[in-house]
Each structure stands twice: as C-alpha cells, then as structure tokens.
Amino acid sequence: MFQDLLNTPLSTVVLITGFILVLIGLWGMLMHKNIIRIIVGFTLMDTGIHMVMVAIGYLTGGKAPIIEGANKNIVYVDPVPSALVLTSIVIGLGITAIMLSYAIQIHKAKKSLSIDDCAEMKW
C-alpha cells in the first residue's frame, strides 16, 4: 500500500493536489462571510485549476518544451496547456484585482466586509 503511494507518478500527484485545492477554495467561497476570505477562496480555486491543466499536459518522461538541438529522441510535454495556463494566470490576476477594489468600495460604503451587510440584491 505504502509502496504504491510512493510509486504514484508526479503528474497524478499534481492533478490530485489541484483538485483538492479547487475543493478547498469552493468550500471557502461557500462558507465564509468575509469578502476578503471569499476572494482568497477564489484564488485557491484558480491555482488548483492551473495545476490540473498543467498535469493534463504532461507526457510520460517529458521535458519542458525548450528545444536545445535537433535531437529527435527527446520527448517534450504539450506546450499548449502551458500557454493556456499563462493566459489564465494573467486573467485571474486581473479578476482578483477587480474583486479587491470592489471590496474596498463596499468597505467604504458600509464600513463592513461581511456579505450579510450587502443584502440589496438578496431575495
């Protein structure tokens, strides 16, 4: 049993860690009242999804896709998920920054960061 765990391929470990991070982030977003904590949950989920995408792009024995010479025998990992994750990180950063500035405005208007105080749109 323990030996099996030690033999788990690294990409599987990254994949499972990513899924666990997504779950932790989702739990944080659903259960917390504080807006800052909800944003932290969102970023955790974001990071988890990035890890899953990178793990899916991995090939057995693959190297980072930086070509050194004309050697045909080297296996390179899939460059497309890496490129997509790069895009996704930048967009996640933009969204997080927007959310934080909304949090600042909410705090200015209501002097509180709890979502219970933002009940205008609740039904």
Contact footprint for another protein (CB under 8 A):
9, 11-12, 15-16, 19, 22-23, 26-27, 30-31, 55-56, 58-60, 64-68, 76, 78-80, 82-83, 86-87, 89-91, 93-95, 97-98, 100-102, 104-105
Q: How far is the CB of 51 from another protein (least distance, A)?
A: 12
Nearer to another protein, 84 or 117 (CB): 84
Q: How far is the CB of 70 from another protein (least distance, A)?
A: 8
Exposed/middle/buried for 51, CB within 10 Å: 0-12, 13-18, 19+?
buried
In degrees to the nearest 10, what's the CA dihedral of 14, 15, 20, 22?
110
CA angle 85, 78, 86 (to 5 degrees): 15
Residue 76, C-beta contacts closer than 8 angstroms, at least 6 positions apart: 59, 62, 63, 64, 65, 67
Q: How far is the CB of 65 from another protein (least distance, A)?
A: 4
Q: How far is the CB of 3 from another protein (least distance, A)?
A: 19
Nearer to another protein, 36 or 89 (CB): 89
Element (H, E) at 36: helix 35-56
CA distance 89 to 56: 16
Nearer to another protein, 106 or 117 (CB): 106
Nearer to another protein, 107 or 120 (CB): 107
